Structure 1
Amino acid sequence: MSTPLVSIIMPVYNGEKFLEEAIDSCLNQTHTNIELIIVNDCSTDRSLEIATKLQKKDNRIVIINNNKNLKLPASLNVGHKAGKGEYVTWTSDDNIYNLNAIERLLTTLKINKVDLVYSDISKIDANGKELKEVSFLSFENILFGNFIGSCFLYKMEVFNKNDGYNESLFLVEDYDFWLRASLHSKFFQLKENLYNYRLHRDSLTHSISSNNNKNKLFIKNVELMYSSFAKSIMLNNHEVIARFQTNILIHKEIQFDWIKRNKNMFFEFLTTLSKLKNYSNKSALKKLLMNKITYVFVLNYKEKQNISRAAFIILNFYSVLDTKTIKTLIKYSFFKK
């Protein structure tokens, strides 16, 4: 019985420091029927030299050289369109797969008859030392953050249905892809650690917090991403939902009275969303909203009216109230000054 071809896309831009290790982690997979498509985005270091050296040793490597620097989302599209596999994933030039990652992802996807599977990861430092394991929250949390992570596998048809990655949403291209895919493709969360995500000063993720221009672009694109997603769920008042999602993600102040005024819109959004297969757990959605509103309640604890605000949360979320939330409401209504 033949094993399916998996296309692994690796966009590369000046990744010489960790590139060989990243490539080796792909080539040494227990699932050997892979093609590794390296998209060199006009690197000015030794990245192309390293990739070419390894290509001579393993013909599963395909190298594509962009004529100009296209940035990550466009490079992902280039790689996907060149891919021949029924299944596809992508990885960064500084991260490392566990050797059985592709095999476990593929097996899980097929057994559960889903379109996309993702796993837990470890965070490592520049020297490869594990810093901590990351176990992602349940799927519905994707509404307020990218909890798919960096280790995943999906059918190529997911990419096609999405019409690829949005090239105008640099820095949130993956998060946007997951949100759009969640509207038409079935996701599955594999609670196994299969990937090593490297933290270092030169990473794209680090640049968002350290580079003011990139941080501004990140916030702008988060707003655009959430606005588009909310509009796909509800045509009217979608900007209220997008504003709430954005402010939660970037930790921007939210007035509790604004939440009370827009309560009906939040519940309308969840009701409509729950009709989709990935969001069918209505209780989980309601509890997620309760947790986010409780978070806002805590941030506003210095203000008056805490008791009435706690009552608002209890009355609207009594069916999903848990001990932790009750204790928080009591603490910040009566004891926290």
Structure 2
Amino acid sequence: MNFTSPEISVLMPFYNAEKYLKSAIESVLSQSYRSFELILINDSSIDSSIDIVQEFIQKDKRIKLTSNINKKGIVGALNTGIEIATGKYIARMDGDDISLENRFEIQYEYLEKNKNIGACFSFIKFIDSNDKFISDYEFDNVTSDYSSILKNLPINNYLAHPTVMIRSDILKKYSYTYSAQGFEDYVLWLRLLNDKIRIEKINKILLLYRIHDKSSTSMLQSDKNWRYLLYKPKFIFFVGCLKSFTLTKFSFRVFIYGVYDYLAYINILMKKYIKKTLQLFFK
């Protein structure tokens, strides 16, 4: 097999991921589909993550390591990986999740057979820090195919970022938006749909998504009102459409939902302010 021309480039950015990084890498290297390169992007880790990676590099030539001298965040790390990716397809993977062994094979064959599809996702299961099953993802069925994705994604980001496999030429053209840090995937999916790039979901569980105290999902949802913070990526997306003269019915739908989220969030903040003021007044 010619590993100098892999079919898939796997992007795995990491920062201080020593606790789960080994199992994440092993799940990639154990894939039934073998023609891939694993691009590990170290975003200035200060723990033993690099040592873990170096052990794997000694054993498998498919692994590439690049390090950011200064911390760039998830967007900068991903865009660094995109620049050096050589595969026909790009798959995402986080340093704390686990890909099931047939994930790449299923997604690769799906995209090969469906040339009109730009990117595909999969269902997930949530696991905890000890690899124990927590639950299925209740919203997977909300975006189970292109029509339901097109309908429901303007409301919320129901797609699990680490499950995506996307055509490399598309991702290299669009990349991730720096101003959308924390919501970078959501803005990207909206941009693709706005440009009529078809997104589908394979209705099989192909990834175990880890929830722990330092995961981005846990930190975001620690704010009980996180749902309404989605006005930020929606406005970023809409402003981008304005600047690029790509306004469509879809982009206006996203904007309307963004206005709703914003007003709901302001209402929540006002209630908190009034409550605090009254407490101080009657103290």
Give your verdict on TM over 0.5. yes
Partner of 1:115: helix, strand, or coil?
strand
Tell me if the contact between 1:219 and 1:250 (Cα under 8 Å) persists in the aligned partners: no
Match of 2:270 in 1: none
Distance 1:190 1:228 in 2: 31
Tell me if the contact between 2:24 and 2:97 (Cα under 8 Å) persists in the aligned partners: yes
Q: Deviations over 1:266-315 (max 9, x none)?
A: xxxxxxxxxxxxxxxxxxxxxxxxxxxxxxxxxxxxxxxxxxxxxxxxxx
Match of 2:280 in 1: none
Counterparts of 1:314-325 in structure 2, within 5 Å, are: none
Are 2:152 and 1:139 equivalent residues in the alignment? no
Tell me if the contact between 2:7 and 2:88 (Cα under 8 Å) persists in the aligned partners: yes
Distance 2:100 2:190 in 1: 26
Q: Which has the larger radius of gyration?
A: 1
Tell me if the contact between 1:226 and 1:246 (Cα under 8 Å) persists in the aligned partners: no
The alpha carbon displacement at 1:70 in A equals 0.2
The alpha carbon displacement at 1:129 in A equals 1.1
Tell me if the contact between 1:123 and 1:196 (Cα under 8 Å) persists in the aligned partners: yes
Tell me if the contact between 1:227 and 1:242 (Cα under 8 Å) persists in the aligned partners: yes
Match of 1:247 in 2: 260
Q: 2:213 aligns with which of 193, 201, 216?
A: 201
Distance 1:143 1:219 in 2: 10
Distance 1:52 1:185 in 2: 38
Distance 1:25 1:14 in 2: 19
Match of 1:233 in 2: 247
Match of 2:67 in 1: 65
TM-score normalised to structure 1 length: 0.67
Partner of 2:31: helix, strand, or coil?
coil
Distance 2:264 2:37 in 1: 40
CA distance 1:250–1:77, change in 2 (3 Å): farther
CA distance 1:249–1:159, change in 2 (3 Å): farther
- Structure of greater relative contact order (alpha carbons < 8 Å, 6+ residues apart): 2
What RMSD over aligned residues (CA atoms) do the two structures have, in Å?
3.0
CA distance 1:5–1:51, change in 2 (3 Å): same
Match of 1:102 in 2: 104
Distance 2:121 2:178 in 1: 23
Tell me if the contact between 1:230 and 1:241 (Cα under 8 Å) persists in the aligned partners: no
Distance 2:56 2:24 in 1: 12
Match of 1:180 in 2: 191
TM-score normalised to structure 2 length: 0.79
Partner of 1:233: helix, strand, or coil?
coil
Distance 2:119 2:155 in 1: 19
The alpha carbon displacement at 1:228 in A equals 3.1
Q: Deviations over 1:77-101 (max 9, x none)?
A: 0001111101101111100000000
CA distance 1:170–1:85, change in 2 (3 Å): same
Q: Deviations over 1:5-32 (max 9, x none)?
A: 2000000001100000000011110011
The alpha carbon displacement at 1:211 in A equals 7.0
- Aligned residues, how many? 250
Tell me if the contact between 1:145 and 1:249 (Cα under 8 Å) persists in the aligned partners: no
Q: Deviations over 1:23-46 (max 9, x none)?
A: 001111001111000000000111
Tell me if the contact between 1:36 and 1:61 (Cα under 8 Å) persists in the aligned partners: yes
Match of 1:263 in 2: none
Partner of 2:158: helix, strand, or coil?
coil
Q: Which amino acid in structure 1 is aligned with residue 149 of structure 2? A: F
Distance 2:32 2:165 in 1: 15
The alpha carbon displacement at 1:184 in A equals 4.1
Q: 1:93 aligns with which of 95, 99, 105?
A: 95
Distance 1:151 1:117 in 2: 8
Tell me if the contact between 2:44 and 2:68 (Cα under 8 Å) persists in the aligned partners: yes
The alpha carbon displacement at 1:223 in A equals 4.5
Distance 2:10 2:126 in 1: 21
CA distance 1:175–1:51, change in 2 (3 Å): same
Match of 2:180 in 1: 169
Match of 2:49 in 1: 47
Are 2:232 and 1:221 equivalent residues in the alignment? yes
Q: Deviations over 1:25-76 (max 9, x none)?
A: 1111001111000000000111111111111111111000101000001110
Are 2:89 and 1:78 equivalent residues in the alignment? no
Distance 1:194 1:76 in 2: 21
Match of 2:26 in 1: 24
